[in-house]
Amino acid sequence: MFNWIKWLVLSVIALVVIALLGVYFSVRLSLPRLEGNDASAHVVAPVSLARDSLGHAIINAESRADAAYALGFAHGQDRLFQMDLQRKAAAGELSSLVGRIALSVDKQARFHQFRARAKRVFEYLPQWQKDLLITYTQGVNEAINEYSVKPFEYLALGGDIEKWTPEDSILVAFSMYLDLQGGQINHDLARTVLKDRFGEHIYQFMTQPSNFQAALDGSVLAPYTMGVPEFPEELRISSNEDEQARYTGTEPPDIGSNNWAVTGALTDTGSAMLANDMHLGLRVPIIWYRAQLNYEINQSSVSVTGVSLPGLPGIIVGTNDNVAWGFTNANLDNVDWVLLSSEATTQTVTEDIMLPNGKESMELELSEFGPVKEANGQKYALRWVAHQPFAVNLTVNNMDQALTVDDAIAVGRSISIPTQNLVMVDAEGNAAWTPGGAVLERDKASFTAITQSEASSTTLQRTTDLPVYQNPENGRIWTANARVISANDYDRLGDGGYALGARGLQIRDRLFEKSTFNENDFYAIQLDNHAAFLSTWHRLLINTVQDGGSDFSRDRALLTQWGACACADSVGYTLVKHFRRSVIQALFGPILTQVDDAGARSRSLLRGIEPAAWQILATQPESWLPDGFATYNEFLIATYEHSRTELFKKYGESEDFSTLRWGNVNKLTVVHPFAAQIPIVGDKLNMRQVEGFGDTYMPSVQGRSFGASQRLFVSPGHLEDAILTLPGGQSGHPLSPYYTTGFDDYVTQAATPLLPGAIEAVRHWYPKTE
């Protein structure tokens, strides 16, 4: 009997091993071929695609078009599934691949009808850009044709690979609009509902200008002077009510990034210098793809090095050794919600969302101004720059020929992408900033919904009247998603959801601490996790627990030792950050809950709530004191206790509070979207977890799955010293040698060279002859 059971167990184990080996070898068969010689009907001259030890794609061609073909092929080899997800996410077609779990996401995307808009955008492009997309697409599809076994994600889902189209590349650009400007849509509607429900006084109070202003010209917005309004009596929530009544919203992450520059007067070489780190969600594989493109254009040799976006041809951020450029989200206003009258004419269309087995239909209401959404009992139509045929183009590719900052500015004026702070430097020592991207031409930006008559009186077109800030006397330029435009341009260019400004202010101040910079100096600023913003909240919490008696002796010790930084060992930082969050949620939660209940999303309003919170805490008006408390001190003590209790619930009780170390609470966790669905080996798809370093409201931005998606430090003419670190590898294939390469440098804050290293593999193409 025993032997029978033993052999049964061994047989089961053997079958499992055989099955795992079968999976392994099937997955291995989908590894791309990196070497060899091939003929192609889609190139007009010899082309090569090489890789170094990082998997950095080095392309040599005789034309930009042939280089685009090879880049499309490289993207198709290393990032096909990522590209597929991005086109489907923008089009609202994820459910066709992953099933009903994506239905709500697809419905949100279908609101914008981007699949149809992509066709119109493609037709609107100049012919050279159409041709470039077609050639790039041919490269992607050549890579698809080579798969003898589908990438493992398709095997796991049972899905098929669909051929790439030029319109799919436009959809990838639209996916970036959703990432970078989707918050503007929510922000304008939330401001509208806030104003309509609670009146002008509360609206102005909760959306007043930040006290952390660092515009490039030093201008400041007029301060709020209306005082603290009365709290709406009907919204008072008893502190004894069920915990479900508590508002738990948190401010959204600052999608967009840091970039800054100094002129040649502040470097030893005389060349200007640029830093750029774009803050986005972190996942496996990473969003960006290292590439160097070498080719001839107008009888001149071009070499462009930086990061590309799989799904699109060209280098998005990088350098041609004459100039370098980088982006951060500009947050200029490019959204109008149009209040529809009861007589407004609309039509309803049906959108079919395909599923692996069947489909689900949704109805979408449309008006002459755009798709319609209901909020607070009213109908609003969305008019957004992303819905216009001029929303996307490939003009950023023309950075390859820029010789000076002036050339780069000219290119920037024609770029059509989600509007960015475009910072440029050149080898001659010049530096400049300008908004780069599609910006709506308007005499006055909208902060809340506009009327139909206001909408009808404007013609939608992109503006070319954009400010330029070049070679300032102090030699320094900085952006960090907050307002950097002059106060004089504020009414025209608006506020699409600026960051509070504390991060930008800290970067500006760091730049004025030195008179000469090199790449490592810039790296140190990017890694600055000093908690300047939270220092006032730290003082408030110290005073609060001091009034709380002996029960808080351990808390006081930890707060005293907090280190004033988002450091891995700091428990005090965790306590202060979550205390601030709980206080703001308690003070403003009843109002923000009403905004949510009315059909808007309140989270974006938290981004600028700081001055209003401190005015309440400074003046302590009775109407804003939550029910159940006799004094604000009682309220603050109870709020801190609640915050601490919630932290222990989430991260575990510990007498010494060690579970609340910031490195544990904010642990960097970069995962593959399929890891949790694959038993036994799924976690092998993820990057290793790393203790947190950094947070919001400081240059070193990092959340558990959010942060710097790249770190670039470059001075044109001196690329041998340039640095580019990425939070993951080049390839999305888990058996590729390039799956994790680069991640260790990122988390150890090492200086990965921008330029490629020694070549490990080369693939050649030659024109196919008849």
Tell me, what's the pLDDT at 16?
44
CB 593 within 8 A of CB 555: no
CA pair distance 388, 329, nearest whole angstrom: 19
Tell me, what's the pLDDT at 23?
58
Q: What is the pLDDT of residues 474-519, one digit of tens each?
A: 999 999 999 999 999 999 999 999 999 999 999 999 999 999 999 9
Tell me, what's the pLDDT at 674?
86
Q: Which tokens go with 736?
A: 């590729």
Range list of β-strands (E), 650-719: 702-703, 706-708, 711-714
Give the DSSP H/E element, type plus range, for residue 520. helix 519-526
**Spans of the chain below 70 pLDDT:** 1-26, 237-245, 254-256, 770
What angle do helix axes 114-124 and 166-206 make, rounded to 10 degrees? 110
CA pair distance 147, 32, nearest whole angstrom: 8
CA pair distance 151, 145, nearest whole angstrom: 12
CA pair distance 21, 2, nearest whole angstrom: 28
What angle do helix axes 571-597 and 535-546 make, rounded to 10 degrees? 100
CA pair distance 492, 253, nearest whole angstrom: 26
Tell me, what's the pLDDT at 8?
45
Q: What is the pTM of this model?
A: 0.95
The share of the chain scoring above pLDDT 70, in percent, equals 95
Tell me, what's the pLDDT at 278?
96
Tell me, what's the pLDDT at 769?
82
Tell me, what's the pLDDT at 513?
98
Look-up of token digits 């990088």:
318
CB 686 within 8 A of CB 671: yes
Tell me, what's the pLDDT at 24?
58
Look-up of token digits 């099933």:
99
Q: What is the pLDDT of residues 640-672, one digit of tens each?
A: 999 999 999 999 999 899 999 999 999 999 999
Other Cβ atoms less than 10 A from the Cβ of 238: the count is: 10
